[in-house]
Copies of this chain bind each other. A is one copy, B any other.
Amino acid sequence: MRAELISVGTELLLGQITDTNAAFLARVLAEHGVDLYFKQTVGDNPARIQQAVRLALERADLVVMTGGLGPTEDDLTVAAVADLLGLPLVERPEAREHIRTFFETRRRPAPASVYKQALLPQGARLIPNRRGTAPGVAITHGQATIVILPGVPAEMEAMVEDFLLPWLRERTGGQVIRSRILRVTGLGESAVEERIKDLLAMTTPTVAPYAKLGEVHLRLTAKGTPEAVAAALDEGERLVRARLGDLVYGVDEETLEGVVGELLRRRGLTLAVGESCTGGLITDRLTDIPGSSAYLRLGVVAYSNDAKTALLGVPPELLARHGGVSPQVAAAMAAGARRAGGADLGLGVTGIAGPSGGTAEKPVGLVYLALTDGVEERVEEVRFGAAPGRRAIKVLTSQAALNLLRLHLLRASRVPG
């Protein structure tokens, strides 16, 4: 099957919004092995919408359109397509009823203009909208099918799930293309590539690295029956893990803070964090995980030396002798956070996020991380350099600190306790 996408909306051509719908739909098509050779974007103009559809019908058997289904005068997609195909618009009672109920349950008056959304081309299939008022439309035209979806991403995505996915599965003979992402942290992109160099030449699955801030994503992709694809992805994951081991922290949508939280929860351990340069980002990430109150006892953001002493008990002599950014102070912050929070583990982070405050000896991007469980302590020095900029240095530091914690928890869990 060959598909073509048409995004409709003047706001896209004015650059007021980025077309994320197109990327979403492209992924859906790719996962089903549907070829997508062209994508068009047009404004809210009937003649140009028709020109785009005419062209797409010449070169594709599935045309997926998004946008222009709203209630305003600018929303012209359905009428333009109906006119092009010579189909009269007919009011669909179920669509009208859905719109009426939608407003009634929200106790808002339905503006008269909204009922225009109940007009569909004669003979078209109506795709219900469970998140909004405008129904989607599927039209069979000769050998081709035209699917028109709303531009609101949540509404569009629900219709893809409800209608387009089953429709595609029926027509692609059960062949799927699926990807799995292995998330790697603690090693740079080129070092990761070096270790898996030969795997990059595999075809089942293919392995493609993508560098992200503080991590590398390895995208494994395979095509075939769902069973064959699952087996290929499992085998690919096994091969990658054999090379990278603990550097793989998660799969697909897993986050580092989620993985760390799960390890803390399973081990029944609590944590306290003393942060300087990250300014609260570490606890912000940890507390994005529901239920994190079970293991996160305390966070202290101690930028100043006074706060480091008063709240984390960092001795003033230590600060005077080594400076706020030093392995000694990081360790004292970790121990102080652990003590103040009455936690099992203490994490301490100090560094220079910049852009100012760096010296030749202690440049911007220099960071010290410390972790203690009250018996052992581990201190790491990392140098990110000034180039990434303040926000990225904060993110990279939080990533390295959470990874230090993760590796400790993994090792700890190996000792039968």
A327 CA to B278 CA, complexed, in Å: 29
Contact B301 A298 (CB under 8 A): yes
Q: State A253–B24 Cα separation when bound (angstroms).
A: 28
Q: Which of the segments A70-78, A167-175, A302-310, A372-380 contacts the partner chain?
A: A302-310
Contact residues in B for A290 (Cβ distance below 8 Å): 354-356, 390
Asked if residues B306 and A342 are in contact (CB atoms below 8 Å), the reply is yes
- The reply to whether the CB of A96 lies closer than 8 angstroms to some CB of chain B is no
Contact between chains at B42 and A38 (CB < 8 Å) = yes
Question: A43 — nearest CB in chain B belongs to which residue?
Answer: B37
Cβ contact of A38, chosen from B15, B48, B287, B304, cutoff 8 A = B48
Given contacts A15-B25, A303-B297, A394-B287, contact A281 B279 (CB under 8 A): no
A interface secondary structure, majority: mixed
Q: Given B41, B282, B293, B307, which contacts A39 in the complex, CB threshold below 8 Å?
A: B41
> Is B300 within 8 A of A304, CB to CB?
no
In Å, the complex CA distance between A43 and B352 comes to: 43
Residue of chain B at shortest CB distance from A287? B279
Picked from B284, B354, B394, the residue with its CB within 8 Å of the CB of A281 is: B284
How many angstroms between the C-alpha atoms of A300 and B38 in the bound complex? 53
Mark out the residues of chain A between 247 and 299 whose CB falls within 8 Å of any chain B CB in the assembled complex. 273, 275, 277-284, 286-288, 290-293, 296-299
Cβ-defined contact, A284 with B293, below 8 A: no
- Is A113 an interface position by the 8 A CB rule? no
Complex CA gap A38/B9 in Å reads 10
- Chain A: interface residue total (CB-CB under 8 A): 73
CB distance B37 to A38 under 8 Å? Answer: no
> Do the beta carbons of B18 and A20 come within 8 Å of each other?
yes
Question: Measured between C-beta atoms, what is the minimum distance from A28 to chain B in Å?
Answer: 8
- Report the minimal beta-carbon distance from A272 to chain B, rounded to whole angstroms: 8
Instruction: From A15, A26, A282, A300, name the one whose CB has the most chain B CB atoms within 10 angstroms.
Output: A15
Partner of A40, one of B24, B40, B286, B356: B40
Are A300 and B297 interface neighbours, CB within 8 A?
no
A30 close to B (CB within 8 Å): yes
| Cα distance A24–B354 in the bound complex, in angstroms | 29
Q: For A3, give the chain B residue with the smallest CB separation.
A: B13
Q: Measured between alpha carbons, how far is A299 from B123 in the docked complex, in Å?
A: 63
Given A288-B279, A299-B280, A355-B290, verify A18-B15 contact (CB < 8 Å).
no
- Structural contact, B304 and A297, CB atoms closer than 8 A: yes
Chain B residues contacting A353 (CB-CB under 8 Å) are 287
Q: Which of B22, B23, B25, B303 contacts A296 (CB 8 A)?
A: B303
Instruction: Note all chain B residues with C-beta closer than 8 A to A310.
Output: 340, 342
Mark contacts of A335-364 with chain B using CB atoms, 8 A cut-off: 1 yes-contact digit, 0 otherwise: 000001110000000000111110000000
Q: A391–B13 Cα gap in the complex (Å)? A: 31
Nearest B residue to A36, CB-CB: B13
A191 part of interface (Cβ distance < 8 Å): no
Instruction: Determine the chain B residues whose CB is within 8 A of the CB of A391 once the complex forms.
Output: 288
- Give min CB distance, A255 to chain B, whole Å: 11
Query: Is B293 a contact partner of A304 (Cβ separation < 8 A)?
Result: yes
Contact sample, A vs B, 25 pairs, CB 8 Å cutoff: A12-B22, A12-B39, A14-B27, A14-B30, A15-B26, A15-B28, A15-B30, A16-B23, A38-B41, A38-B48, A279-B280, A279-B284, A279-B287, A279-B292, A279-B296, A280-B301, A283-B301, A290-B355, A293-B357, A296-B301, A297-B307, A298-B300, A300-B300, A301-B301, A310-B340
Interchain residue pairs A-B with the least CB separation, the first 9: A279-B287, A299-B301, A280-B280, A15-B26, A15-B27, A280-B283, A39-B41, A280-B284, A281-B284
Known pairs A12-B22, A280-B280. 17 more at Cβ < 8 A?
A13-B36, A16-B27, A19-B19, A37-B48, A279-B283, A279-B286, A283-B301, A287-B394, A288-B390, A293-B357, A298-B303, A298-B307, A299-B299, A299-B302, A300-B300, A306-B342, A310-B342
